[in-house]
Chain A
């Protein structure tokens, strides 16, 4: 038989390359997305077997209905004060994002990333954690820092990479770190924070501590190997950790299909690992809060890790370096069936009689002023590329605890170059 002869009756194979439903200019119709009624999803006990959560991995936990009413067993029954605090933090994130985006466009820094439309996935989740639970964020969780009361001026200093930046101008804008706020240093390499969160949680358990770890990742980077190792270690050691997948549908220009979303949900991955899974309306702040609280209570009572998928939409570009009009339909944002998290929570409070349009408008004005004041103050420390940076020798510090001879020699070179360029 000649080579290949035995295969000639078989049909030829074809490769499937995922393609999003809508490209620029396309009319958008999201009716294919199954959006269940708010309040219809059962809420198992926090200590249930992971396998019991399987139905919730393909469902969508929702609390707020179209009239702004909180319904069903997942309603976290928060006090109006708490709900107003969540609303306020989300509005502050949005105001901050707007201002920083403009700052980048005005040349005050190199880069910025907004979280428009996704504010609930960080703000409401942060409200459901203890303030000293350790957070291992990805790059779009400014909402956690803001919810934990991190000073805005510190954020702006970092974004401007100026002499006030506590990270000494070393990190790309928005790659914050604040040990005092239990907020781990943001890497910029994707998914690396997941096994780290598990290791921190394991350490906490080794020490019989009561603090848990929570971590965030985009749906696109669940394709990284670190996602698999993190889930494996978490289940093996029953680590007290919460994994939050922010499924905002887009990883730069690659739609979620390139991370496997055409075949299953991201929450469903939990079950194969023996980890509890929840799929949650990410634009419903009360559902986000309830799910995070469920997972945090589960972890804190040693009942195991949880993987939560927040189903949401990235309303803006990936970053200031991105142009989404080149790869997706502009109608997607308008047609997104889960609405806007700030509007939804605002309507809920108004429906409760705990908030008014006037109060909301006044809050937005006040927050915009607050952000403006913080940026003005930060600008006194300099903006990127205008000379008000940290001294040259700081470039060589913190590579090691102590400066080795080679870095000592190299720092002398850097300072000599500075003196040639800018003689005193």
Chain B
């Protein structure tokens, strides 16, 4: 990893600590609750208990019960009341406990939050950030492992963000909360407590020591719509986000491929310039995501690359994805787009 660069860190002097992604998210929420009295956190089990993944631990005790509170088990209700709170002038940050549970809230997200600015010609807005753990790799079975990001990138009016490091998670979450448009903030839960390189049979590592875990204290933000070049290279461009950034990085390292790895960080708005510049330079492109393949966000990326960089391409764009099946419990690692699947795609790209 090339380390942390270019971020408009307002406090360059700020002490830097090593945090896990869950701690970095907690830190961002704490800072925004402190800075902006309009910020309200709501969701199932997020209050006194601090969330099933501990993202909101200690925040109700610190900021009070009307700023951070539990909700009924009703995702449609959670998003619906958040739309109303936004109309009032608050800046709600609802948590959906697992991305797999977000579907009852889709009407309120798609028909309401995403359309409110447009249909009212700017009279009302829904400035909410929906946080939700997503992705597999924790033996969550089919209802605790899904990656539904493409459902949201398909909706006009929603922004979709996926961080891959504690440092980015904090800065992107702060930007998302400050954003006046509704943002879906998917947190890759497999890397909440440590980076994951895809080798599930090896011992897991904590974040400590990883350059992406170096998190400055205090407020800083990372703009939405800006990709991050994790590793510069000339052999091919790898477009990835979330957990798959780390898996792709490990595979390229192990295979000795001089790939340029781009962590998209924000899917909508997409940093199209970063994608074009890299593919024009390398002439080869691999798209990686954990979500199912058909109509996945990789299809959009592949289409954009061929539309905009066709005459620079030396090989067809490759996609590595999850399979078009539900996420199976016992065969989780057979589903996961791991080093073998990525490695084969890299070979095909290099041979072409």
Contacts and interface: CB of A to CB of B under 8 A. Distances in A.
28 contacts: A134-B87, A167-B120, A170-B119, A179-B123, A185-B124, A187-B111, A187-B119, A189-B107, A192-B112, A195-B80, A195-B83, A195-B84, A196-B83, A196-B87, A198-B84, A199-B82, A199-B85, A200-B85, A200-B88, A201-B84, A229-B77, A229-B80, A233-B74, A399-B117, A399-B156, A400-B159, A401-B125, A401-B181
Most buried by A among B66, B84, B181: B84
Interface in B146-205: 156-157, 159, 179-181
A198 B86 CA distance: 12
A185 B120 contact: yes
A199 B118 contact: no
Contacts of B306: none
B122 interface: yes
A184 interface: yes
Interface residues of A, number: 45
Q: Which of A184, A185, A194, A199 has the most CB of B within 10 A?
A: A199
Given A167-B119, A179-B124, A192 B80 contact: yes
Nearest to A231: B77
Contact of A213 (B79, B84, B179, B225): B84
Contact of A398 (B40, B89, B117, B272): B117
Contacts of A399: 117-118, 156-157
Interface of B: 40, 66-67, 71-72, 74, 76-77, 79-90, 92, 104, 107-108, 111-112, 116-125, 156-157, 159, 179-181, 225, 268-270, 272
A194 B108 CA distance: 11
A203 B159 contact: no
Nearest first, the 7 A-B pairs at minimum CB distance are A199-B84, A195-B80, A199-B81, A229-B77, A203-B88, A196-B84, A185-B120
A226 interface: yes
B116 A232 contact: no
A423 interface: no
A188 to B, nearest CB: 8
Interface in A196-246: 196-204, 206-207, 213, 225-226, 228-230, 232-233, 236
Given A197-B84, A198-B80, A175 B119 contact: yes
B118 A202 contact: no
A104 interface: no
Given A184-B124, A400-B181, A195 B88 contact: no
A201 B118 CA distance: 23
A136 B122 CA distance: 17
A177 B72 contact: no
A401 B180 contact: yes
A329 interface: no
Interface in A150-171: 166-168, 170-171
A401 B117 contact: yes
Nearest to B179: A401
A202 B88 CA distance: 9
Contacts of B123: 177-179, 185
B122 A195 contact: no
A404 interface: yes
A405 B272 contact: yes
Interface in A229-281: 229-230, 232-233, 236
Interface in A365-420: 398-401, 404-406
Interface string A269-312: 00000000000000000000000000000000000000000000
A200 B84 contact: yes
Given A185-B116, A192-B108, A203-B89, A233 B81 contact: yes
A132 to B, nearest CB: 12
A171 B66 contact: no
B112 A202 contact: no
A230 B84 CA distance: 11
Contacts of A192: 80, 107-108, 111-112
B117 to A, nearest CB: 5
B269 to A, nearest CB: 4
Of B71, B77, B111, the most chain A CB neighbours within 10 A belong to: B77
A236 B84 contact: no
Contact of B76 (A178, A226, A400): A226
Contact of A233 (B77, B89, B111): B77
Which one of A170, A228, A399 has the greatest number of beta carbons of chain B within 10 Å?
Answer: A399
Interface in A325-369: none
A253 B71 CA distance: 37
B80 A226 contact: yes
A187 B117 CA distance: 12
A18 B312 CA distance: 65
Given A203-B89, A400-B159, A404-B225, A177 B108 contact: no
Given A195-B83, A229-B77, 11 more contacts: A136-B84, A178-B123, A185-B124, A189-B107, A195-B79, A197-B84, A229-B76, A229-B80, A399-B156, A401-B125, A401-B180
A189 B270 CA distance: 29
A217 B79 CA distance: 19
B175 to A, nearest CB: 13
A131 B180 CA distance: 27
Nearest to B77: A229
Nearest to B156: A399
Contacts of A203: 40, 84-85, 88-90
B112 to A, nearest CB: 5
A203 B38 CA distance: 9
Contacts of B225: 404
